[in-house]
Amino acid sequence: MGRLDGKVAVITGGASGIGEGTVERFVAEGARVVVADMQRDAGEAVVAPHGDAAAFHETNVTVEADVAGAVDLAVERFGQLDIMFNNAGIVGAVGSVAEITEEAWDLTVGILLKGVFFGVKHAARVMIPGGGGAILSTASTAGVLGGLGPHLYTASKHGVVGLTKSVANELGEHGIRVNAVAPGNTATAMTAAIHGGDPSDLTAVTDHISSRNLLGITGVPADIADAAVFLASDESRYITGHCLVVDAGHTSSGVGANRFNQGPLGMYREAGQVDR
């Protein structure tokens, strides 16, 4: 039997990167999944191989009605909602704190924190009368330590961890577990663009990642998806209000803090939602 047999999930940012990897793992473990993402073509391509086990909902996580619609689609199509994985994200504003604009603040925090709040809110709306569930959100090692990401990314990810712990206190009595997963550097299009300038060249980032953790290996989306499966499944029935760090010991060793705030990262100043 699959570890998620009979469960229904919504995964934001499910069209690429960690989100796409988690869609694959959830379906393989028996779940039915709504892929909520701005990238329609990519999202429909992720859904297509899974037939009736998956559906796509075009979703901008900064728009509450879009997030509510993804949750409603899960209930309408599959009859329930058991798992909400708030994963959509971007790097967002980069550069000196003295130079960051209000517009960049609004975009970055809107996607990375407000979007998570909307997911938590609308999952709770369905899960409370439904008798329980699991809410997961993607934090980051930048949400655990300073110096591992741009200022607003770091602030937002700390906010995700704080929101997770706070909401877990409210929703526990309803049988709803609320947890976060904090990936370290993971070989995705986003990290490839940061370290090599080409989001399609994952080889450019693998050596960088493996040289900055205790195990000397490169994390891939499947590593984060495995953690998400655990936190979404009944195997973690005694865990809530927790942030699970998945980084091969990077934050334990203090090796090679990434100076995201230095260098030409103008590509991430553009509006839009670039998934992990």
Q: Which residues are catalytic?
A: 153
Classify 192 as helix, strand or coil.
Answer: helix
Q: Are 150 and 91 in contact (CB under 8 A)?
A: yes
Give the phi and the psi of residue 245 in degrees, each rounded to 5: -85, 130
Q: Are 179 and 135 in contact (CB under 8 A)?
A: yes
CA dist 116 and 130 (Å) reads 21
Q: Are 38 and 19 in contact (CB under 8 A)?
A: no
Classify 246 as helix, strand or coil.
Answer: strand
CA dist 27 and 53 (Å) reads 7
CA dist 162 and 220 (Å) reads 26
CA dist 9 and 213 (Å) reads 31
Q: Are 124 and 146 in contact (CB under 8 A)?
A: no
Query: Whose CA is closest to 144, among 127, 175, 129, 165?
Result: 165
